[in-house]
Amino acid sequence: MAPDSDDYVYDETTGEWRPAREAAAAAEAARPAARDAAGNLLADGDSVTLIKDLKVKGANQTLKQGTVIRSIRLTDDPEEIDCRHESIKGLVLRTEFVRKR
């Protein structure tokens, strides 16, 4: 749901009430940029390919090089992405091991 133009949010840093859209834009701009192994900028919903075989802790499974992961989500840590794989739930990958498709 998008914030209405009448919604305001209290900014504790400045001590002022700001429009919700402005606060949401500032929060998005403050998020550090996530980049893949080649330096390409990643965004929510992108598809990535693994650049090396990865052993998945707790799943006793190895994801092979070239595996495509679809619909990634960025996290607060620019070096990690949340993703889903058909056989592994709650998968978090380091951006240094993926390349944007």
Q: Please tell me the distance from the alpha carbon of residue 99 to that of residue 96, in angstroms, as a whole number.
A: 8
Q: What does the block give as tokens for 49? A: 């390919």
Is the residue at 80 inside a domain? yes
The CATH number for 61's domain is 2.30.30.40
Question: For position 87, what pLDDT does the model report?
Answer: 81
- Antiparallel, parallel or unpaired: β 73-74 and 80-85: antiparallel
In the predicted model, what is the mean pLDDT of residues 30-55? 92
Evaluate whether residue 92 is within a structural domain: yes
Task: Domain count for the chain, please give it.
Answer: 1
Model confidence at 7: pLDDT above 80: yes
pLDDT tens track for 49-68:
999 999 998 888 999 999 99
Range of the domain at 74: 48-100
Greater confidence (4 vs 26) lies with 26
Domain assignment of residue 9, yes or no: no
Helix (H, G, I), strand (E, B) or coil at 53: coil
Q: What is the mean pLDDT of residues 62-77?
A: 93
